[in-house]
């Protein structure tokens, strides 16, 4: 029922990595069969695309039974145009195995300024057949030198693959990961990319792909901090906070309502994330001791709310001015934060 595309800002001319991601959550009520929502029972779909800082560009609702890549072609093109115009000249896109279709890969490759990409690709039969001799060789080495192979980390093999409906052959990297404790067999998967083997060796490519976990953490932070509640019901409420409303509204479109709720949560997330980024930079300026954490100034959205927003304060009106007196426990944090905001200056508006 839900889908979104998110991203963040940067300094122009610097390379950026854009993560395409999806997740699932649970709806509070089921939609009647007559509504336009075609989601399976109690299931919603979110598709996300994010840049390094985790700012959200937009959020778009989709049916819960929609495929991962549905709508990705047009949305990726729109956002890439905007990013290249306003944020960065060079963009790298990465995502999971639900996205790499030939039309999407061609879109990234045939742009006026081609975008680099790395996606995980499903274990199709031809790929498994190509990888069989490498996996058999790995199993043979694992049986002869188990301790050494487990400490090796991983093995990577360069392949070239072209599906039947693909227009061209593309670089595929086979990754074989040693078995973990209690397991007997190794795990293997494939990465597809338009990076050259010289420009992006297999080890660096795997490290770039594994950084997807950073945004999974940011997405979890978003869900835990704001907890957007999306309902698929079209029935008006009979009770509101324990009281019967004086006038009941007519039935509303649940899809549009959820889109509005999600958009409001996106705006709230952007404000929180912007304040968090400013707070981190304010705490780590040269010559200023860190006021949060022992080793790092990194913080979550929840921590930012607790340390900067959920604090006691007194608001007074005096001499035609509004005065906010903040508790001494947070006064130093707010002083550094506000001082950094004033030094930022005014940024030009971006349409």
Pair of tokens at residue 271: 């404000």
Residues 222 and 316 in one domain: no
Antiparallel, parallel or unpaired: β 313-318 and 321-326: antiparallel
Q: What is the pLDDT of residue 234?
A: 64
Per the CB < 8 A criterion, the answer to whether 94 and 117 are in contact is: yes
Enumerate the β-bridge partners of residue 170: 161
Residue from 178, 209, 177, 166 nearest 191 by CA: 209
What does the pLDDT read at residue 289? 47
Residue 306 lies in a domain: no
Residue showing tokens 């009281």 = 243
Residues 220 and 108 in one domain: yes
53: helix, coil or strand?
A: coil
Tell me the three state secondary structure of residue 209: helix
pTM over 0.85: no
Burial class of residue 332 in the structure, from the number of CB atoms within 10 Å of its CB (0-12 exposed, 13-18 middle, 19+ buried)? exposed
Of 189, 207, 226, which residue is a domain's last? 226
Token representation of residue 121: 């690709």
> Do 95 and 204 lie in a common domain?
yes
Look at residue 259 and tell me if it is in a domain. Answer: no
- What's the structural domain count of the chain? 2
Q: Percentages helix, strand, coil for the chain, rounded to the nearest 5?
A: 35, 20, 45
Which parts of the chain fold into alpha helices (H)? 72-86, 102-109, 125-144, 146-151, 202-210, 212-226, 254-283, 301-304, 328-344
Is residue 130 within 8 Å of residue 196, measured between CB atoms? no
Token pair of 319, please? 């001499």
Predicted confidence pLDDT, tens digits, the chain (351 residues): 333 333 333 333 445 565 665 544 333 322 222 222 222 222 333 444 445 567 777 677 777 777 777 777 887 888 788 878 877 777 888 888 888 888 889 988 988 888 889 999 998 899 999 999 999 999 998 888 888 888 888 899 999 999 888 989 999 999 999 888 888 888 999 999 999 999 999 999 998 888 877 777 777 788 888 887 777 666 666 777 778 877 766 667 777 888 888 888 888 988 898 888 888 888 776 545 444 444 445 688 888 888 898 889 999 998 889 998 988 888 888 888 888 888 876 656 555
Give a yes or no: residue 283 inside a domain: no
- Length of the chain in residues, anyone? 351
Whether the CB-CB separation of 107 and 81 falls below 8 Å is answered with no
β partners of residue 57: none
Residue 189 domain flag: no
Same domain, 71 and 208: yes
Asked, for residue 339, whether it belongs to a domain, the answer is yes
Domain that holds residue 319: 311-346
**Phi, psi angles (nearest 5°) of residue 16:** -130, 150
CB-CB contact of 276 with 308 (8 Å):
no
- Distances 165 to 102, 103, 122, 162, 227 between C-alpha atoms, Å: 8, 10, 15, 8, 41
Same domain for 216 and 88: yes
Put the strands of the sheet holding 170-177 in their side by side order.
44-50, 16-25, 91-95, 116-121, 187-193, 170-177, 155-161
Asked whether residue 22 is domain-assigned, the answer is yes
Question: Are 331 and 204 in the same domain?
Answer: no
pLDDT at 5: 35
My answer on whether 219 and 327 are in the same domain is no
Q: Following DSSP, what letter does each residue of 212-277 receive, concatenated?
A: HHHHHHHHHHHHHHH--------SPPS-BTTB--SSPPPP--HHHHHHHHHHHHHHHHHHHHHHHH
Count of CB atoms within 10 A of residue 72's CB? 23
Residue 212 in domain: yes
Token readout for 235 is 């029935």
Three-state DSSP at 290 gives: coil
Would 337 be classed as within a structural domain? yes
d(CA 222, CA 146): 42
């Amino acid at each position: 029922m839900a889908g979104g595309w998110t991203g963040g800002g940067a300094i122009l001319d610097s390379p950026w990595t854009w993560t395409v991601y999806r997740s699932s959550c649970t709806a509070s009520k089921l939609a009647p069969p007559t509504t336009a929502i075609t989601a399976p029972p109690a299931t919603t779909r979110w598709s996300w695309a994010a840049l390094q800082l985790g700012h959200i560009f937009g959020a778009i609702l989709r049916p819960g039974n929609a495929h991962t890549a549905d709508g990705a072609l047009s949305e990726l093109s729109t956002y890439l145009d905007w990013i290249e115009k306003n944020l960065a000249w060079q963009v790298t896109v990465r995502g999971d195995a639900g996205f790499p279709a030939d039309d999407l890969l061609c879109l990234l490759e045939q742009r006026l300024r081609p975008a680099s990409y790395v996606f995980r690709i499903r274990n199709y039969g031809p790929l498994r057949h190509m990888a069989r001799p490498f996996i058999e060789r790995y199993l043979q080495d694992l049986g002869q030198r188990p301790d050494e192979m487990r400490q090796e980390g991983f093995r990577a093999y360069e392949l070239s693959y072209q599906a039947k409906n693909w227009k061209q052959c593309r670089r595929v990297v086979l990754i074989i990961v040693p078995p973990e404790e209690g397991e007997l067999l190794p795990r293997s998967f494939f990465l597809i990319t338009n990076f050259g083997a010289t420009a992006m060796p297999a080890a660096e490519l795997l490290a770039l792909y594994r950084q997807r976990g950073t945004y999974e953490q940011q997405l979890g932070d978003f869900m835990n901090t704001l907890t957007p509640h999306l309902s698929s019901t079209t029935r008006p409420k009979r009770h509101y906070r324990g009281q019967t409303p004086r006038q009941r509204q007519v039935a509303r479109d649940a899809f549009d309502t959820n889109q509005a709720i999600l958009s409001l949560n996106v705006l709230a997330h952007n404000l929180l994330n912007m304040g968090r980024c400013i707070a981190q930079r304010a705490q780590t300026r040269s010559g200023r001791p860190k006021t949060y954490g022992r080793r790092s100034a990194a913080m979550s959205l929840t921590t930012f709310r607790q340390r900067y927003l959920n604090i006691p304060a007194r608001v007074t009106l005096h001499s035609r001015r509004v005065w906010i007196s903040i508790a001494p426990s947070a006064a130093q944090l707010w002083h550094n934060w506000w001082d950094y905001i004033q030094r930022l200056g005014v940024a030009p508006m971006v349409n």
